[in-house]
Homo-oligomer: A and B are copies of this chain.
Amino acid sequence: MIESTLVSVDVIALRFDPDARTVLVGVAPRAQAPFAGELALPGVLLGRGERLRDATTRAVTGKLGLAGESVTATGQLATFDEPSRDPRGPTLSIALWATVTGPSGDVAVWHRLDDVPALAFDHDRIVADCRPLLADKLWRDVAFTAGLLGREFTTAQALDVTESLTGDRPYPANLGRTMDRVPGLERTTEHASALPKGGRPPLVWKWSSEAVRA
């Protein structure tokens, strides 16, 4: 009988901050050794029979201090199998993404995707390797996109999120055409409320009800 492997679940928790106009990743200082006090992605050991989705929520609530309801969507990214990645012994790490909303949590520290500080374990590598995967999901994976932007959002916010994930701000006209092709996403004629500094109010986009049965 082969001795079984430990499996941990490490989560890239993303939150869109409309005020900062950017997407943020949640990290937290580790409570225990190894790497006690150092920042790390929220991660937990996968329980026997536990679903990945449940472990993801457990990591986000337990390690970042968020409410379970604030997790709007989750999904897989990749698996990291470097045996020496955890000093306690060989541990498989399944990297997942989660989109969250609402209050920022008790212990979470939020950083821009292109400005994540040095993290414990191989978490720097996980973030670096998974960033292109995340950028690829925007406007392609409806659950991811809707989870990040919420039930309805403005063109300006869509531009901000795209810039945060891809590193490149698209032209509004081009992004509009991209969004027109996203299934379940509808351009409304409503305008958002006036801006603090003036300027034309942006258009509102909404997910059709079937598309977001989260």
Contacts and interface: CB of A to CB of B under 8 A. Distances in A.
Contact of A79 (B5, B48, B52, B89): B52
A149 interface: no
Contact of A46 (B47, B76, B92): B92
Contact of A5 (B7, B78, B83, B89): B7
B48 A90 contact: yes
Given A76-B79, A78-B76, A79-B79, A49 B2 contact: no
A115 interface: no
A6 interface: yes
Contacts of A79: 52, 76, 79, 94
Given A76-B78, A78-B76, A79-B76, A90 B4 contact: no
A96 to B, nearest CB: 9
A48 B81 contact: no
Interface in A1-45: 2-7, 45
A5 B46 contact: yes
- Kindly report how many copies of this chain are found in the complex they form together: 2
A97 to B, nearest CB: 13
A51 interface: yes
A47 B92 CA distance: 11
A75 B94 CA distance: 15
A144 to B, nearest CB: 15
Interface in A79-107: 79, 81, 83, 89-90, 92, 94
A92 B2 contact: no
A69 interface: no
A47 B6 contact: no
A210 interface: no
Given A7-B7, A46-B92, A48-B90, 4 more contacts: A2-B46, A4-B48, A50-B83, A79-B94
Interface of A: 2-7, 45-52, 76, 78-79, 81, 83, 89-90, 92, 94
